[in-house]
Amino acid sequence: MAIEKGERFANEDIFIDYPYEEVTYRWDHPSKQVFVRFYGDEESIQPVPHDNRLFNEALRFGEEITRQDYNRGRSRR
């Protein structure tokens, strides 16, 4: 199910899991930046460009998760 960006992206942080590619994303609304965390790794220090192909696939085909799930991380299969 696609994750709508719209108003929610302007007002809150959003956390996305895309299991097909073993990756999670965090939208930081105050800074308007996207950060990536691959399964089994720490979050990247550098933000991901908004037009990043994998991020946009995650928006279309991934699922929203909680901050706690994102912070806990995921294990590689």
Task: List, in order, residues 6 or more apart from 11 with CB less than 8 Å away.
Answer: 29
Task: Provide the pLDDT for residue 29.
Answer: 93
User: Digits of tens for pLDDT over the chain (77 positions)?
Assistant: 678 778 888 899 999 999 999 999 999 999 999 999 999 999 999 999 999 999 999 999 999 999 999 999 988 87
- Please state the domain extents for the chain: 6-72
